[in-house]
Amino acid sequence: MSKLEIGSGNKPKEGYLHFDIRNNVNADVVGDAKNLPFKDEEFSEVYSRFFLEHLFRKDAKIALREMYRVLKKEGTLEIIVPNIACFCKLFLNESGQKKEWALNKIYGFENYAEDHHYFGYDEETLKNFLIETGFREIERVKTEEQYLYLRAIK
């Protein structure tokens, strides 16, 4: 299979090899995304949804470099993270459950040990991380304000 999902958790995307650090979510391969157990240029697509924000920023850069390494030339990365700009606005402007939801999206829901957010991204920040890693042709796939869904090419 030449499509890899990183941090697949309880919502694995169909058609992908599923990789996660937790051994209780039926991942095909268990491990740490900072050190992917795959060869260089093994995959044509890497997909990751609501994972990168679970890493400290220096570790996120390492994980992105790993994603880049395992992608074939011209391969595609699709990455989705919460848009911290949106949730900061909600936190400041809302109260009650919406404010609580914004806090969960900023800091993580704390439903299990790894369920913390250690860094937040707006579009500029995520694009800069991708550019720094070497990705090009970065585009926003969907324009919903609450999350950033970017596609980039190796």
Ligand X SMILES: C[S@@+](CC[C@H](N)C(=O)[O-])C[C@H]1O[C@@H](n2cnc3c(N)ncnc32)[C@H](O)[C@@H]1O
Interface positions with ligand X (CB under 6 A): 7-9, 11, 20-22, 25, 32-34, 49-51, 54, 114
Q: How far, in whole angstroms, is CA 126 from its chain's centroid?
A: 10
Q: Which residue is nearest to ligand X (CB)?
A: 9
Q: In the bound complex, what is the minimum distance in angstroms from residue 43's beta carbon to ligand X?
A: 15
Give yes or no for a contact between 74 and 135, defined as CB atoms under 8 angstroms apart: no
* Residue found under tokens 């595609």: 76
Q: In the bound complex, what is the minimum distance in angstroms from residue 76's beta carbon to ligand X?
A: 17
SS3 23: coil
Residue 20 or 154: which CB sits closer to ligand X?
20
Q: In the bound complex, what is the minimum distance in angstroms from residue 95's beta carbon to ligand X?
A: 25
Residue 7 or 120: which CB sits closer to ligand X?
7
Taking the C-alpha atoms of residue 38 and residue 97, their distance in angstroms, rounded to an integer, is 42
Residue 54 or 127: which CB sits closer to ligand X?
54
Taking the C-alpha atoms of residue 117 and residue 56, their distance in angstroms, rounded to an integer, is 8
Residue 13 or 95: which CB sits closer to ligand X?
13
Residues 6+ apart with CB under 8 A from 60: 52, 53, 119, 129
Q: In the bound complex, what is the minimum distance in angstroms from residue 127's beta carbon to ligand X?
A: 21
